[in-house]
Amino acid sequence: MHDAESPRCGAFSQPDGAVRWRVWAPRAGRVELVLIDGHSRRHPPMEPEPGGFFRYDASGISEGQRYAFRLNNGPERPDPMTLWQPDGVHQPSAVLFPERFAWDERGWTGLPRRDLVLYELHVGTFTPEGTFDAVVSRLDALKDLGATAIEIMPVAQFPGPRNWGYDGVHPFAPQNSYGGPHGLQRLVNACHTRGLAVLLDVVYNHLGPEGNYLHEFGPYFTDRCRTPWGPAFNCDDFGCDPVREWILANVRLWIGQYRMDGLRLDATHAIFDQGPRHILREIKEAADTAARALGRPAHIIAEHLRNDPRLLQSPERGGYGLDAEWNDDFHHAVHAFLTGERQGYYVDFGEPRDFPKLCENTFLLDGVYSQFRGRRFGAPAGDLTGDRFVVSIQTHDQVGNRAGSERLASLIPPSKLRLAASLLLLAPHLPMLFMGEEYGEDRPFWFFCSFLDRRLVEAVRSGRQREYAALLAGAKIADPQAEATFAACRLSWSWPEGTPRAGLRRLYRDLLTARRRWPALRDFAHRRARLLPDSSEPNVLHMIRGGEREEELHVYFNLTDRVQPLDDGGRRRLFRSEAERYGGVNDAEGMQELRPYECVALGAHELESADAAASFASNSACPG
């Protein structure tokens, strides 16, 4: 399952039980394998092979055997394809046999794309324990909520025990402080036994600044391009073939050996490849091949900040064939409208007239002028259906990269929070929740790290302070290196009955149930929207979902702080965001009107059985 012209690298078992080590190190004339047993070390020389590869075989090797490489009699370095760093980024690697894990997935065959309801979580702050195994204890609650897939922020080994994950330096090795490779396999297995898919956030545009030794081995990076976070990977320059294979081997590891249901590719706009077959296309092909062997689909979702539909278009049409793309326009439009913020990129968003285009055409910036960028930006989504785009109202980036790292619940009142949730969950796109938003978590999500290099720590501290001090009128930014900053980000995981939190979580649960049951919400092709009474007085957004008239869902969003009239046209009232069960006002009032910032969904009897439909419009419990 690798390119025949690029030998497999890393430490892996052979059919006869021996272990083979292979490393690509064209910048070294001599490479030694360092086998470590306690305080003793052996340094057998590795046999050179064509193309800058070196190999060594040994029998009687157990899982956990520590090892490292020495290049030209230099210091010991971890394996560039290490699967396990039990002692940290700078320490020796450990032999792992991931194929020996005893999977018991109870017939799991994956999920179709249209069924994805993503739940983004950070392992370290999702629970007090901050481990893969601890995440398992909350999976039943996520299943009950209606999430169908967890999206795990990056877990590639990073310095120390605390990090967002985007500073990882060993892309093949799950973070040791989270529970390492065995803990991650247990988490994926537990998700599949509960009918939950698992997607992993991966970073193929750069490595972190500490513990990155790849440049000593070979031309992993290019001088022609740089990302905002460091040198770019060499995908198209001299000696790039083994680098491309290194990336594709990582894809095969997560989809094949860890049985992930997909990958979220970080910042694909910062992956540079001018070759005739873009690395993104090859990533999708590698993922599909690995998933096909397991009898399931693989979902490759790109974060791309240029509103470029080519990522999703088929190779026959000149695209890369990825499955879905983040649409930040949705977040920016909702956030700017409800908060009134217009700084930075929010200057292009926030008007009520944005919403019909957002519903019907996906991108707002689709080739039109962007004031923030001072030029035209983006391209039309064309005939791509709504389930090719992931939308959100909160993410780790949009919360954590604010000056105060406030969540939405700390910025807007409950009625607006319910409206934001309704816009997200009734939109004709794939929704992604950021951990805790379903009950209105108000603890911040600061940027945090635990670098070991003191100079790097000071550089990060001063950089964050300079970046945000002006926005906070000189206030001191939370110290990213402090453990207290990290601890403040742990979820409260609390929604006591009778509180606004309980009502908000009930709203999320009800609407996620509706997404599974109402035919119109499973139709991502037919979507229409308009402003009422008209665009000159945009008080109400009227969105229509569904292609069959008898299955149409009519959704009205009051975009004002005033009561607005509502003509139900004889349709059944299926949902009201300001119902008492969600923390709104008394249900007996205002049945023929829209309360301030209220969302109301109307449909025919056929959308749902009478009893189930009534449960959304009354105080009775929504069927699970």
List active site positions: 266, 303
Calculated CA dihedral for residues 93, 176, 253, 171, nearest 10 degrees: -70
As beta bridge partners, residue 390 has: 326, 430
Coil/strand/helix, residue 339: helix
Count of beta carbons in the 10 Å neighbourhood of residue 39: 5
**Tokens 């992931």 correspond to what residue?**
390
**Tokens 């278009």 correspond to what residue?**
313
Amino acid at site 133: D
| H-helix or E-strand spanning residue 40 | strand 40-42
DSSP 504: H
Coil/strand/helix, residue 132: helix
In 3D, which of 288, 279, 297, 286 has the Cα closest to residue 198? 297
Q: What is the residue-wise DSSP string for 457-526?
A: HHHHHHHHHHHHHTTTTTPPPP-TT-HHHHHTTS------TTSHHHHHHHHHHHHHHHHHH-GGGG-SS-
CA dist 320 and 238 (Å) reads 23
* Residues 172 and 461: beta-carbon distance below 8 Å: no
* Residues 403 and 447: beta-carbon distance below 8 Å: no
**Tokens 């994956």 correspond to what residue?**
110
Coil/strand/helix, residue 599: strand
